[in-house]
């Protein structure tokens, strides 16, 4: 029973992360289409949005992969990296 509940939580959280990753993917798609169709209409804000959405998409994709696979980092098995010593104090 506990194993089934763990699987349900893993796949639910992975599914939510995939769902949330569609937003930056959608924005990236529209920026790419705008850059292809009308490149002169893009400004610095589009480049900033592209960088931020790319990083967010990679981060959410990594979290979703780790949630679906059930494995974290090899060092301690955590899903996210531990906070550094500078942030703890």
pLDDT at 14: 87
The answer to whether the CB of 67 falls within 8 A of the CB of 9 is: no
Write out the residue range of the structural domain in which residue 25 sits.
2-71
Domain count, the chain: 1
Is 43 a domain residue?
A: yes
Is 19 a domain residue?
A: yes
Cα 75 from chain centroid?
A: 21
For residues 7-21, average pLDDT: 88
Is 76 a domain residue?
A: no
pLDDT in tens, 29-87: 999 898 888 888 778 888 899 999 999 999 999 888 888 887 666 666 666 655 554 45
Is 45 a domain residue?
A: yes
Is 80 a domain residue?
A: no
Q: Cβ atoms within 10 A of the Cβ of 66, count?
A: 20
Structure tokens at 76: 């301690």
Is 87 a domain residue?
A: no
The answer to whether the CB of 82 falls within 8 A of the CB of 66 is: no
Is 83 a domain residue?
A: no
Is 59 a domain residue?
A: yes
Nearest Cα to 38, choosing from 30, 27, 28, 50? 30
């Amino acid at each position: 029973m506990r194993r089934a509940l763990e699987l349900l939580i893993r796949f639910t959280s992975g599914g939510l992360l995939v769902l949330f990753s569609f937003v930056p993917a959608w924005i990236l798609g529209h920026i790419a289409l705008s850059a292809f169709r009308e490149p002169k209409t893009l400004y610095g804000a589009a480049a900033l949005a592209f960088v931020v959405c790319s990083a967010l998409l990679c981060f959410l994709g990594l979290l979703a992969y780790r949630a679906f696979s059930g494995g974290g980092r090899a060092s301690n098995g955590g899903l996210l990296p531990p906070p550094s010593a500078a942030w703890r104090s």
